[in-house]
Amino acid sequence: MADIDQNRHPFLDGLSKHRGSPPTVIVIFGASGDLTARKLVPAIYNLGYDNLLPADFRLVGFGRREIPDDAFRTMARDAVKEFSRRELNEDIWDKVGRSTFYTAGGYDDAAAFDRLKKRIEGLEKDLGRKLQSLFYISTPPSVFEPILQNLGRSGLAARHLGTRQMSKVVIEKPFGRDLESARRLNQVISGVFREDQVYRIDHYLGKETVQDLLVQRFANSIFEPLMNRRYVDCVQITVAEDIGVGSRGSYYEQSGATRDMIQNHTMQLLSLMAMEPPVSLDPESIRDEKVKLLKAVEPLNLSPEHGDVVRAQYADGLVSGQAVPGYTRESSVESESNTETYAALRVSINNWRWAGVPFYLRSGKRMARRVSEIAIIFKRPPGSLFSDSEQFHLAQNSLAFQIQPDEGSTVVLNAKIPGLETRTQPVRMHFRYSTTFGSNTPEAYERLVLDAMVGDSTLFIRGDETEASWKLITPLHEFWSSVGRRGMETYAGGSWGPLAAERLLWENGHEWRRP
Ligand code: NDP
Ligand code: BG6
């Protein structure tokens, strides 16, 4: 089919042979939910499109609602139509759709898990071969634990253990809401699964540009020698969104920016950006380095005066010329809410490479625009051959990795303006993914679902990693719950955040880069 070939991404041409997965059944818990429709089903469809699903593939949705197989197939097809990055191709959908089923039951209902087991055994019988079961937990976190316990009790977790078809479990975020609950969840998981069966998701790790960070840092010899306290003035990690909380008010009230974004996505970016080179690309070597880095982060100074943290809530404002309501006017949000929609942190890493270099992290909803980037700001050159003046307009050198939406990297240099006298101005060198590789790159969930099927845990988070990250963030929440709204700043919807976050940098003689 010509249209399929034209749409195949160039990355497939060089895909190594070992990326094949054993015959697999993916079971999605919470299959009638938002994530399943927006991300998981489209990801599975696109893997089918690229011929990356195993020849013997089955998808089973699981949830409390009674949904006949056919109705679930229709829901899944509609989801592909609405959310897939590629248009629905009926021939391809046909194959995926024919492999799709649904089983109803409660997440704490032991009999329902026995039925699920029978269903999987039935699929194996029909196919005449063993299937790997990939259990994808895509429910609210309140039912993670009963699902895990039932996977253990029913024997589903231990199916085909020690073979290529052994069961695996993918666990969505949030992974706990503090250090204690994360530890507890890890204990429940390890009571049921071996660590090599467990895939804790942070979808930022599935983003092309986040994976590219390792390549940029360690496959190029020009950057790495500069990545240390001798040359780097500060590092700024921004994960900004222009959307508000929308219909997710009740989830967000329990979460806030630090639990929703900082503890996971932003800390992952920090650890990949700052970790030491791993001894190899195998998952454990990379995760060892990330954990080492997180353990070297100093506890945050929580003092209201000159502390390391700023939190804020968006107020009424304008985004792209449209009036938008403040956070406390959003639906399902308390009018006196203490939930932060923005957080900025000044992080110090106490190791030989980074001691004395501030890492600034910020994330917020309803900011000026949607942009995620890591910017490394270099120190000014020594001496005063060229000093900033009317004649020499100079910028600090910087290297920014643009995670999204305009994926790529940018280096800022100073250059001479052509002419008969020496005048300078900062210039930018850009690398853009879309220009070099085209724009139809796989979505994060495609890579992550494929990796979990194949058994590659590099882009998933290990248990000790989640705990190391919660260890840094939990004291912050404890402090905030002890002081109520005290210290809560506001910022206009559509702005770059509160003034207090600017002050956080001014104290060190820095300012936020405008991404
Ligand atoms: P939903 O709120 O849509 O819930 C998913 C399904 O779980 C529902 O369709 C429902 O299925 C079941 N469910 C809902 N509430 C409860 C409850 N209180 N008790 C038991 N079952 C319930 O969640 P999402 O799909 O949005 O998210 C799923 C997971 O993915 C969550 O952990 C979320 O944090 C994470 N996530 C979601 C993202 C998103 O954009 N949606 C982004 C990143 C992570 P049924 O009634 O049929 O059992
Ligand atoms: C999710 C958060 O993990 O990430 C959401 O729960 C947020 O609040 C989303 O909107 C952002 O992801 P992305 O891929 O759009 O940057």
CB 35 less than 6 A from any atom of ligand 1:
yes
Rounded to a whole number of angstroms, the CA Rg of the chain reads: 24
> Which tokens go with 460?
């998933």
Asked if residue 314 lies in contact with residue 326, where contact means CB atoms within 8 angstroms, the answer is yes
Torsion of CA 379, 371, 270, 326, to 10 degrees: 110
Look at residue 16 in the predicted model and tell me its pLDDT: 46
Question: What is the value of pTM for the model shown?
Answer: 0.93
Residue numbers of the chain with a pLDDT score lower than 70:
1-19
User: Which residue out of 27, 29, 35 has the highest number of ligand 1 atoms within 8 Å of its CB and is therefore the one to mutate?
Assistant: 35
In the residue annotation, 18 being an active-site residue is answered as no
Look at residue 19 in the predicted model and tell me its pLDDT: 66
The atom number, within ligand 1, closest to the CA of 106 reads 48
How far apart, in whole angstroms, are the C-alpha atoms of residue 294 and residue 467? 10
Look at residue 2 in the predicted model and tell me its pLDDT: 36
> 10 Å Cβ neighbour count for 333?
22
Whether cis (ω within 30° of 0) applies to the bond prior to 405 is yes
Catalytic residue among 9, 160, 265, 477: 265
Look at residue 383 in the predicted model and tell me its pLDDT: 77
Whole-number Å distance, alpha carbon 61 to ligand 2 midpoint, is: 23
End-to-end alpha carbon distance in the chain: 41
Amino acid at 264: N
Look at residue 515 in the predicted model and tell me its pLDDT: 85
Look at residue 387 in the predicted model and tell me its pLDDT: 79
Cα 187 to chain centroid, rounded = 23
Torsion of CA 248, 469, 511, 322, to 10 degrees: -10
CB 426 less than 6 A from any atom of ligand 1:
no
Look at residue 438 in the predicted model and tell me its pLDDT: 81
For each of the domains in the chain, give its residue range(s) and CATH number, in order of start: 10-172 (3.40.50.720), 205-506 (3.30.360.10)
Look at residue 8 in the predicted model and tell me its pLDDT: 45
CB 141 less than 6 A from any atom of ligand 1:
yes
> Which tokens go with 259?
């639990």
Look at residue 15 in the predicted model and tell me its pLDDT: 47
Which ligand is closest to the CA of 241, given by its number?
2
**Percent helix / strand / coil, the chain, rounded to 5:** 40, 20, 40
